[in-house]
């Protein structure tokens, strides 16, 4: 078996699902905030960045910078791409819809302003 050149190896890595996941443009993330905390949701429905209790706090989830930094996701096991992602009209509530062979799962993400 012939060895791949460095250019071929780079092309293979760039086309792999893992490298595509890591290079998600920032504009494709959903944004949630309550004025003190923020969260960024990936197009696949996982929270990949969140700092608690304030914007300048250390991140709780940070997988948008590296897979080892953690994320949180509520979704069907066998579906990786949601059917639809949208903000509910007039709100900062992000709704992600998942279709499965047995039904639908709708997840609504929001950060609420506390007392």
Q: Is residue 51 situated within a structural domain?
A: yes
Whether 85 maps to a domain, the answer reads: yes
Per residue of the chain (115 residues), give pLDDT as tens.
Answer: 556 555 555 444 444 444 444 578 999 999 999 988 999 999 889 999 999 988 899 999 998 888 788 899 899 988 888 999 999 999 999 999 999 999 999 999 999 877 6
Whole domain around residue 90: which residue ranges?
24-109
Q: Does residue 64 contact residue 25 with C-beta atoms inside 8 Å? A: no
Reading the block at residue 15, the tokens are 């086309």
Three-state secondary-structure class, residue 68: helix
With respect to residue 115, please indicate whether it lies within any of the assigned structural domains.
no
Total tally of structural domains belonging to the chain: 1
Q: Confirm whether 36 is domain-assigned.
A: yes
Contacts of 8 by beta carbon, 8 Å cutoff, 6+ apart: none
The structure's pTM equals 0.72
Task: Note the pLDDT of residue 4.
Answer: 55
Question: Does residue 71 sit within a domain?
Answer: yes
């Amino acid at each position: 078996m012939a060895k791949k050149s460095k250019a071929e190896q780079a092309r293979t890595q760039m086309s792999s699902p893992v490298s595509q996941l890591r290079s998600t443009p920032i504009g494709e993330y959903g944004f949630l905030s309550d004025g003190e905390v923020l969260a960024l949701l990936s197009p696949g429905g996982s929270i990949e960045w969140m700092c608690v209790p304030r914007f300048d706090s250390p991140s709780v989830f940070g997988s948008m910078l590296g897979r080892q930094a953690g994320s949180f996701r509520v979704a069907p096991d066998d579906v990786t791409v949601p059917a639809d992602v949208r903000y509910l009209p007039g709100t900062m509530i992000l709704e992600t819809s998942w279709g499965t062979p047995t039904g639908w799962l709708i997840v609504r993400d929001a950060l609420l302003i506390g007392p």
